[in-house]
Amino acid sequence: MVKNSFFIQSWFETVRHLLFDSKNLDEDSIRKSLMYGISAIGIVFLIVLGTVAVIQSNAVLATLDYSAALLLLSLLFLLRIKGYLIFCINTGVLIMFVLFLYLFISGGVTGTAFLWSYTYPLFAFFLLGSRRGIVFSSAFFMACCAVMIIDLNSSMINLYDLNLVLRFIPSFTVVILFSLLYETYRETSHQALVESKNNLERKVTERTGELLREVQHRQEKEKELRTSEARYRTLYNNSSDGICIVSVLGNLLSVNMPICDRLGYTEEELKGKKIENIYTKCAAGSIKFLLEQVVDTGHANLETEQINRSGDHIPVEIRAQLITVDNEPSVLCTCREITERKRQEKENKNLQEQLHRASKMEAIGLMAGGIAHDLNNILAGVTGYPELMLLGLPPDSNLRKPLEAVLQSGRRAAAVVTELLTMARGVASVKEPHDCNKLIEEFLATPEAVKILQDYPNVEVIKRLGKDTGSIMCSPIHIQKCIMNLLLNAAEAIGDKTEACVEIITDRRNLNEDIFDSLNLCSGDY
């Protein structure tokens, strides 16, 4: 069923190419169509003859017929899939050469198979053309003549007699000559048809060119108008500023794409709006006042805000000018967004305020520096005299403990003065290695810590200080102030609660990757 469908498709394709498809006038298309048609017909007859040979018990001839049909079918599939036209034609003609020569030698089932030889020149000339067709046909003719000469001189075969040979040679010569003449005529006619087609196409092209020139001449003015309009529209829509044309009554006549994109409307939606609907009223006046000013003076400027579809306000600067559109006075408004400029102005204002504050801080720093020097002179006596007095007191003196408290207070006051200088002048404080546990012990012995615990008698301070915490690089006064603030905050949070305690814990920890990534710290001991 598949073979029959393929034969029918090939046959109809041949007829369509040869009779109805006027576009395929080249030799390759004709050869391909002939290859399909002749091969399809040959396959059908070979299958029929092979079946007859099977019925007549001629296995060799049946095998040859079926093999030739299978080879031709393979060539058709190869031609259809790969398109190897020359190879398929040459192979097909060569297959027919071998098949017909075998039939000529064997005589077929009834001894009349040599009659098929008369069809070989037709195949050869139709498929190969006049030049190669005469070569293959002549070769086949000479092979047949050689077979007949051998047969006449042989005492074993005796398939052909002299009378048949004398009739076959001139008749086959006539078939070759008529096939040659027909193919030559066909090629000449095809060439003439191609030339006629080319001449006709050339004339059509020339006439079409004349008509196109006439049409082009008529369309020059329209093209100029379209070019001018396109140039205007391109400049209009690709402007960095929003442009709109407004009637003197405030109706939007035209808007460009930047305004549509900025406000979130289409051009058609904006054309039906009043200009007051997309602008807010500013300190300099409304947009309506701007139109009145343009009509009076011919131009005007205004800073205001546009309102987009979402209700957001966009600061813009409007420059308006009186123009004429369709013989009617109109207003051309150029709207430039000034959001960035407003932001820059705000940043400049903030920078000026920061500079002003920096100037005040500098003045405060100078003043604090002078005060700090005076305080240092005063504190020199507060810290110096107790040290001298402690040098002269015995270890078991009752005055030693009060003097040490005065000395520690003086030193802390000196540290506060140093910190005041650090904050006022922006100078980094000096950091030294200190034992964190010792700093905590010293703080808890200060009057400040004692005062906090006296104010909150219900709060108990529990120390859980690690033994191997190591030293830290710090400013002691900073650490003690941190501890003081933490203790005070904890005591205030506890308030009047009974049996409350505050734990002060120190420890040495090695931060793993999960912890130090979240704290933006390097891994290691802390």
CA distance 462 to 502: 6
Q: What is the rounded distance in angstroms from the CA atom of residue 92 to the CA atom of residue 31?
A: 12
Pairwise CA distance, residues 509 & 225, whole Å: 82
Is the pLDDT score of 2 beyond 50?
no
* Listed residue (244, 279, 272, 237) closest to 258, CA to CA: 237
Q: Is the pLDDT of residue 133 over 50?
A: yes
Query: What average pLDDT does this structure show over 392-398?
Result: 81
Q: Which residues contact 291 (CB under 8 A, 6 or more apart)?
A: 246, 248, 250, 275, 320, 331
- Please, are residues 151 and 162 in contact by the beta-carbon 8 Å criterion? no
What is residue 30's predicted lDDT score, i.e. its pLDDT?
63
Contact 267, 260 (CB under 8 A): yes
Categorize the per-residue pLDDT at 281 as very low, low, confident or very high, splitting at 50, 70 and 90: low
Q: What is the pLDDT of residue 166?
A: 84
Strand partners, 322: 331
- Model confidence at 15: pLDDT above 60: no
pLDDT at 18: 43
Query: With 80 as the cut, is the pLDDT of residue 143 above it?
Result: yes
β-strand partners of 299: 321
Q: What is the tens place of the pLDDT at every residue in 77-97? A: 666 676 666 777 777 778 778
Rounded CA separation 508/436 (Å) = 11
Residues 400, 386: Cα–Cα separation, whole Å: 9
- 3-state secondary structure at position 127: helix
Mean pLDDT of the chain: 76
Least confident window among 212-221, 407-416, 476-485? 407-416
Length of the chain: 526
**Residue 171: what pLDDT?**
86
Q: Which has the higher per-residue pLDDT, 355 or 240? A: 355
Closest CA to 18 of 193, 178, 184, 175: 193
- Calculate mean pLDDT across residues 436-448: 83
Decide if pLDDT at 20 tops 70.
no
Contact 410, 448 (CB under 8 A): no
Rounded Cα distance between 212 and 202, Å, is: 15
Q: Is the pLDDT of residue 262 over 70?
A: yes
Separation of alpha carbons 137 and 132, rounded Å? 9
Q: How far is CA 206 from the centre of its chain?
A: 46
Token digits of residue 11: 């046959």
pLDDT tens, position by position, 28-69: 666 666 666 666 766 776 777 678 777 777 777 677 777 777
C-alpha dist (Å) from residue 241 to 280, 319, 456: 19, 11, 69
Average pLDDT of span 227-238: 72
pLDDT above 50 for 284: no
What pLDDT, on the 0 to 100 scale, is given for residue 3?
43
Interval 501-519: pLDDT, tens: 899 999 888 777 666 666 6
pLDDT of amino acid 27 = 60
> What average pLDDT does the segment 231-244 reach?
73
Contacts of 135 (CB under 8 A, 6+ apart): none
User: What per-residue confidence (pLDDT) applies to 23?
Assistant: 47
Q: Is the pLDDT of residue 7 over 50?
A: no
Share of the chain above pLDDT 70, in %: 79
| 8 pLDDT above the threshold of 50 | no
User: Average of pLDDT values for 375-403?
Assistant: 76
Whether 491 has a pLDDT exceeding 70, the answer reads: yes
What span, in angstroms and rounded, lies between the C-alpha atoms of 456 and 502?
11
- Read off the pLDDT of each residue in 324-351 and give the average, rounded to a whole number: 82
What is d(CA 100, CA 116) in angstroms, rounded to the nearest whole number?
Answer: 7
Stretch 476-488: mean pLDDT, rounded? 83
In this prediction, residue 155 has a pLDDT band, given cuts at 50, 70 and 90, of low
Strand order in the sheet with 313-325: 252-255, 242-247, 328-337, 313-325, 299-307
Provide the pLDDT for residue 1. Answer: 44
pTM of the predicted protein model: 0.34
Q: What is the mean pLDDT of residues 263-286?
A: 72
Contacts of 160 (CB under 8 A, 6+ apart): 114, 148, 151, 152, 168
| Position 214 confidence tier, pLDDT thresholds 50, 70, 90 | confident
Which has the closest alpha carbon to 285: 320, 258, 237?
Answer: 320
**Euclidean distance between CA atoms 526 and 518, whole angstroms:** 15
Instruction: Region of 109 please: left (phi>0), alpha (psi -120 to 50) or beta.
Output: alpha
- CA distance readout (Å), 101 to 57, 73, 183, 309: 21, 20, 23, 91
